Amino acid sequence: MGIVNVTHDSFSDGGRWIDPDAAIRHGLHLADLGADIVDVGGESTRPGAFPVDAGEEMDRVLPVVRALAGAGLVVSIDTSKPEVAASALAEGAEIINDVTGLRDPEMVAECARSGAGAVLMHMQADPRTMQIDPAYDDVVSEVADFLQDRFRTATAAGVTSSHIVVDPGIGFGKTFDHNLALLDGLDRIGRGRPVLVGTSRKAFLGRILERAEQPSSPADRDAATGATVALAVAKGASIVRVHDVAAAISAARTADAIVRFH
């Protein structure tokens, strides 16, 4: 899954793809590089990001979704607002990627009504507050329980079970240690459901590199992201959400070949 952030303030590429034509070119490029899904978002979810109202979010994402879906790409819409999801699906998006795990009942209803695919992600609290002292007794089992619970709620409301993937939400209400524990325990997250994981360029990678006296800006973290992609694939992840699609595909294919050898 390649990332197209149509935002001013995304943590690694804010402003680069805010112009719709640039965003469309970028999405097509990611598909050419081999992305199976292009994830289009119009609101940053980084801690402390500025909230965007639904009208502004739609103005940003809809022309991009329309063009990319029109070109035959599988498009997911990265939003937690049901009205944005509904309009994006009407423009041809096929998957709702909701970082709140379909918390809004209207979002579950939209997903069920449309037959769209759904990414259910775990987040403790919300983007404004999530990094204020996140706490768990056992992060892997609590996140897995949460995702199982959201899966049950979604399917009870009519979302088709085979349309759902779950995501531990790396960096969303987690400390550095929580992120490492979740990646180490990734094979215990899905409980039989497909798992998506998003580590790309995130702050915990910066911290690992910093410890090794290798300070980095987010865009310098694609090799580190590749390491997480390889390990995630080895632990059974089905989808990896990344900025650098070419590097991630090489890492994923290599890990996959080694794992399948046995």
Known catalytic residue: 202? yes
262 alpha-carbon distance from chain centroid: 30
Please tell me whether residue 252 adopts helix, strand or coil conformation: helix
| Beta carbon of residue 99, minimum distance to ligand HH2 (angstroms, whole number) | 5
Q: Around 96, how many Cα atoms within 13 Å sit in the side-chain half-sphere?
A: 35
Q: Under the criterion CB under 6 A, does residue 42 sit at the interface with ligand HH2? A: no
Residue facing ligand HH2 at closest CB distance:
198
Q: Under the criterion CB under 6 A, does residue 228 sit at the interface with ligand HH2? A: no
Binding pattern for the stretch 95-134 against ligand HH2, x by CB under 6 A and - elsewhere? --x-x-------------------x-x-------------
What DSSP character marks residue 237? -
Q: Under the criterion CB under 6 A, does residue 11 sit at the interface with ligand HH2? A: yes
Q: What are phi and psi of 242, to 5 degrees?
A: -140, 160
Tokens found for residue 215: 């300070």
Rule CB under 6 A: choose which of 2, 6, 10, 233 binds ligand HH2: 10
| Beta carbon of residue 257, minimum distance to ligand HH2 (angstroms, whole number) | 25
Residues 127-186 that bind ligand HH2 (CB under 6 A): 167, 169-170
Looking at 38-46, 86-94, 142-150, 203-211, which segment touches ligand HH2 (CB under 6 A)? 38-46
Q: Which residue out of 46, 174, 235, 241 is catalytically annotated?
A: 241
Instruction: Please answer whether residues 64 and 4 qualify as being in contact, where contact means their C-beta atoms are separated by less than 8 angstroms.
Output: yes
How many angstroms separate the Cα of 93 from the Cα of each of 65, 75, 87, 116, 131?
A: 6, 5, 9, 8, 31
192 contact partners, CB below 8 Å, separation of at least 6? none
Rule CB under 6 A: choose which of 2, 4, 5, 203 binds ligand HH2: 5
| Beta carbon of residue 109, minimum distance to ligand HH2 (angstroms, whole number) | 20
Count other C-beta atoms under 10 Å from residue 210's C-beta: 12
Known catalytic residue: 174? no
Tokens found for residue 137: 């007794």
| Beta carbon of residue 201, minimum distance to ligand HH2 (angstroms, whole number) | 7
Alpha helices in 132-190 (DSSP H): 139-156, 176-184
Q: Which residue out of 66, 150, 202, 221 is catalytically annotated?
A: 202
Which residue is associated with the tokens 């070949």? 257
Residues 231-250 that bind ligand HH2 (CB under 6 A): 241
Facing residues of 98 across strands?
120
Q: Under the criterion CB under 6 A, does residue 12 sit at the interface with ligand HH2? A: yes
Give contact residues for ligand HH2 (rule: CB under 6 A).
3, 5, 7, 10-12, 41, 44-46, 78, 97, 99, 119, 121, 167, 169-170, 196, 198, 241
Show which residues are catalytic.
202, 241
